[in-house]
Amino acid sequence: MTYPMIRQTRRVTIAGAALVGLCLSSGAFADNDDLITTASTAGTTAYIVGKNVDDDDFAQAHDFADTQAVALKREAATGGGENINSLAALLGEDDADDLGAWMQANYAELYGRDAGEQNPVDRIVAAR
């Protein structure tokens, strides 16, 4: 197995373990929004735990935007959140709140019909 595959397997394992723990602890009382939010949090935590400091942050920002696409899109609409904070750190942004506000103001450019299939990180870097 190659190193990137091992890293990805480790991330999936950590995220899976977090999700299983959530399901066991919350039982049948969690609603769909709780599960989506918790799964997003578990995915973010798993990504950060599995982060190798020797990796290129820009490449990691791309990977992060791919794996957290739904959460980033939702947080961009509201102007902030833990996923935007993580993305800001990966992009070397000094102020995550500023990035969140900018993403909200430029939501149509980042996620609208004309945005295309390009990774949002590429659109952020090109526009900022």
Contact 105, 84 (CB under 8 A): no
Task: Pick the more confident residue, 123 or 32.
Answer: 123
The structure's pTM equals: 0.58
φ/ψ of residue 85, rounded to 5: -60, -45
pLDDT one-digit tens code per residue, 46-95: 444 454 433 578 899 999 999 999 999 999 999 999 999 999 999 999 99
User: Could you tell me the sign of the dihedral formed by the alpha carbons of 38, 85, 118, 4, in that order?
Assistant: negative
Task: Report pLDDT for 35.
Answer: 47
In a domain, 108, yes or no: yes
In a domain, 28, yes or no: no
State how many domains the chain has: 1
- Domain residue limits at 116: 55-127
In a domain, 46, yes or no: no
